[in-house]
Amino acid sequence: MYVEMRHVNKTFDGFHASRDVSFGIEKGHMAALLGPSGSGKTTILRMIAGLDRPDSGDILINGVRVNDLQGSKRGIGFVFQNYALFRYMTVADNIAFGLQVQKKGKAEIKERVEELLELISMQDFGKRYPHQLSGGQRQRVAFARALAPKPQLLLLDEPFAAIDAKVRGELRTWLRNMIGRVGITSIFVTHDQEEAMEVANAILIINEGSIEQIGTPEEICRHPKTEFVADFIDAKRFEALMALRG
Ligand SMILES: Nc1ncnc2c1ncn2[C@@H]1O[C@H](COP(=O)(O)OP(=O)(O)OP(=O)(O)O)[C@@H](O)[C@H]1O
Ligand SMILES: [Mg+2]
């Protein structure tokens, strides 16, 4: 397992945001966290990223316990909805940000930024500012910024929530291909079940701070383990999706 949580608990002023959360995600897999609003999805990502500390339990990355390791040293990239691009920096400077923090050399930064601009098909956008981009382009830049320091793990918290349905579908496909190409392990939060079913190798269903079930989209949809999962999952949509794929 590349990322693991073992019996993690987290409370905020007595409110249980994570209850005995345990799961593992294999290297190179893309896992989706699905659950109602307030169920504790962001809390899990924040603890993995080192932005919050668990009250108890362990977090492991590549077999190493990272509870006491600073977030910036965990080799994680993240694209959070509320972690927008830096408005007063160009696209290129946004992408270079993590590399500047790591005090990489000028030439190396320039080369890596060019590589990433190419990866997101925005070679000619380096000098633009975020307000000169579309929502979808901005999210691609946010993605490039997260990938620049070559993280081993990518966390995405509803990266496409603010984008309209059509562009979102395109971005979703783009992201899946991109993640496949880079071969990075990733966890993403979404409200969109279809998005989860289409993109993820593993789905984690979370409710009131507890993991209800972990499994492949097929396992979750065809063999829900709890009443909550059976209720929550739109199995018909999954079957329709499967039929479309043939
Ligand atoms: N810093 C905090 N202080 C107090 N309570 C918090 C804090 N962060 C989260 N919570 C509470 O913990 C619970 C889980 O929050 P979390 O943000 O993880 O939910 P979520 O599943 O990401 O929801 P959404 O889908 O709406 O983003 C919520 O009830 C929230 O109010
Ligand atoms: Mg959230």
Residue range 11-38: average pLDDT? Answer: 95
Check residue 168 and give its pLDDT.
Answer: 76
Check residue 208 and give its pLDDT.
Answer: 97
Q: Are residues 222 and 242 in the same domain?
A: yes
Q: Are residues 237 and 211 in the same domain?
A: yes
Q: Whose CA is nearest to atom 6 of ligand 1?
A: 12
Check residue 169 and give its pLDDT.
Answer: 78
Higher pLDDT, 163 or 183: 183
User: Per the domain annotation, does 140 fall within a domain?
Assistant: yes
Residue range 143-155: average pLDDT? Answer: 91
Higher pLDDT, 79 or 214: 214
Domain CATH for 58: 3.40.50.300
At which of 114, 131, 150 does a domain end?
150
DSSP state of 50: T
Q: Are residues 244 and 160 in the same domain?
A: yes
Mean pLDDT of the chain: 90
User: Per the domain annotation, does 3 fall within a domain?
Assistant: no
Cβ atoms within 10 A of the Cβ of 44, count? 30
Higher pLDDT, 245 or 240: 240
Sign of CA dihedral 212, 217, 218, 221: positive
Give the nearest ligand 1 atom to 13 CA. Answer: 4
Q: Whose CA is nearest to atom 7 of ligand 1?
A: 12
Ligand 1 in contact with 161 (CB < 6 A)?
Answer: no
Check residue 128 and give its pLDDT.
Answer: 97
Q: Whose CA is nearest to atom 3 of ligand 1?
A: 12
Evaluate if residue 82 carries a pLDDT over 80.
no
**pLDDT tens, 98-123?**
999 889 999 999 999 999 999 888 99
Check residue 83 and give its pLDDT.
Answer: 67
User: Per the domain annotation, does 8 fall within a domain?
Assistant: no
Range of the domain at 173: 17-22+30-75+152-246
Q: Are residues 104 and 205 in the same domain?
A: no
Number of structural domains in the chain:
2
Distance CA 56, CA 192 (A): 30
Which phi and psi angles does 115 have, rounded to 5°? -60, -45
| Spacing of C-alpha 22 from chain mean position | 18
